[in-house]
Amino acid sequence: MLVRVRYKDGRIALIPSNGLDELIIMSEIEQFERSAGWVTVGKDPIRSTLRGNYAGIERRKR
In a domain? residue 58: no
In a domain? residue 56: no
In DSSP notation, 1-62 reads -EEEEEETTS-EEEEEGGGHHHHHHTT-EEEEEETTEEEETTTS----GGG-S--S---S--
- Total tally of structural domains belonging to the chain: 1
**Where does the pLDDT of residue 53 fall: very low under 50, low under 70, confident under 90, or very high at 90 and above?**
low
Q: What is the pTM of this model?
A: 0.73
In a domain? residue 62: no
Range of the domain at 22: 2-44
1-14 residue pLDDT tens:
999 999 999 999 99
In a domain? residue 28: yes
15-50 residue pLDDT tens:
999 999 999 989 999 999 999 999 999 999 887 655
In a domain? residue 60: no
